[in-house]
Amino acid sequence: MKKIFLFVSALIFAAACAAPPTNKAPDTNLNSAPEPAPPAITEADAIAKEKAIWDAIKNKDYDAFAALLTSDQLEVLDDGVHDKAASVEGVKQFEPSELTFSDWKFLPIEKDAFIVAYTVAMKGKFQGKEFPPSSSRGSSAWVYRDKKWVAIYHQECPVKPAPTAGSPAKPPASPAEQPVVPTPGADATANEKTVWDLLKSKNYDAFASMLASDQLEVEPGGFYDKAATVKAVSMFDASKAELSDWQTVKINDKAALVTYTVKGTGFAPEGERHSTIWANRDGKWAALFHHGGTPVRKPTAPPPPSPASSPVPKAAASPAAKASPATP
């Protein structure tokens, strides 16, 4: 009996050794493993990353430029809103020879995202031709993805003198006339439409409540904090503003960007491109950043068809058309 007991015990022990352990540590190399936290980003680091993009353009290193952009990147310029592919092709026409930066602003969104804004003076060529020295206000949003920092948004507008301060618009006579303001949420487009409804109704207190305390605005005339933004919007009439061409991009789970066109009295003749980054801070969504004043460039009219390509028979073409090629 004792021998049988020892034999059974030995079998149980052997089976236990052969069975897979139940307390095995998880494989940290699995694809489902969470991405490590991004390294802390300082203002100096952020500025260096933005300058690296400009250096890549200046050095015509377009592969390096592309590697610094997210796959869903948006670039907002006077000629349109471009995706990554269009951005990479566009910079190939731009040959900066001299770049001078100033007025740097740094604004964290979350630990894994930030905004930089600045003024850049430029000299160089565009499409092979020298352009006059110019200055622009620029801004970019960066996000930490796949263990590296990449730019998800960029916008520029020309530098212009700050507008002359006028008289504040007269608010409605009674607070009772003001409609109930929807609570901002994750839908950046809906939030932005609410902002413009508040501006049209001159409800500036409610407008101010939609802005983050550290809000930053970029316009041709300069850079504005929350107080300056609230003061500025009270100086113009937004009642005739028309919004269109909406596009959005998700920065992360707590931030999103919306860009659109504004037309109406007080804006550039063909309209302006505006963008806002909405962020969730302590459970409340608020407008953290706004870049406006990018004028919509009037489309260049295509040249009239030459006599050779005109549907009119060559015999019917005028002597002037025969003597001179078509001009824009």
pLDDT, tens digit only, all 328 positions of the chain: 444 443 434 444 444 444 444 444 444 444 556 667 888 899 999 999 999 999 999 999 999 999 999 999 999 999 999 999 999 999 999 999 999 999 999 999 999 999 999 999 999 999 999 999 999 999 999 999 999 999 999 999 999 998 776 556 555 545 556 667 889 999 999 999 999 999 999 999 999 999 999 999 999 999 999 999 999 999 989 999 999 999 999 999 999 999 999 999 999 999 999 999 999 998 999 999 999 999 999 876 655 555 444 443 333 333 333 333 333 2
**CA 46 – CA 48 distance, rounded (Å):** 5
Residues 55 and 91 in one domain: yes
Cross-strand bridge partners of residue 124: 96, 131
How does pLDDT run across 100-154, given as a tens digit for each residue? 999 999 999 999 999 999 999 999 999 999 999 999 999 999 999 999 999 999 9
The pair phi, psi for residue 227, each rounded to 5°, is -60, -40
Residue 132 lies in a domain: yes
Residue 34 lies in a domain: no
Residues 48 and 150 in one domain: yes
Any idea what DSSP says for residue 316?
G
How does pLDDT run across 269-296, given as a tens digit for each residue? 999 999 999 999 989 999 999 999 999 9
Residues 199 and 154 in one domain: no
Q: What is the CATH number of the domain that holds 279?
A: 3.10.450.50
Total count of domains within the chain: 2
Cross-strand bridge partners of residue 154: 75, 140
How far, in whole angstroms, is CA 124 from its chain's centroid? 25
Tokens of 54: 């400009």
Segments of the chain assigned E as strands: 69-77, 80-82, 94-110, 113-126, 129-145, 148-158, 211-219, 222-224, 242-252, 255-263, 272-281, 284-295
DSSP collapsed to 3 states, 154-185: EEEEECCCCCCCCCCCCCCCCHHHCCCCCCCC
Residues 121 and 186 in one domain: no
Nearest CA to 161 out of 121, 90, 219 is that of: 219
Residues 210 and 273 in one domain: yes
pLDDT at 117: 98
pLDDT at 140: 98
Q: What length does the chain have?
A: 328
Residues 203 and 138 in one domain: no
Domain region containing 232: 181-295
Q: CA dihedral defined by 40, 43, 46, 47, rounded to 10 degrees?
A: -160
The pair phi, psi for residue 265, each rounded to 5°, is -60, 135
Residues 206 and 257 in one domain: yes
Residue 323 lies in a domain: no
Residues 194 and 116 in one domain: no
Residues 71 and 124 in one domain: yes
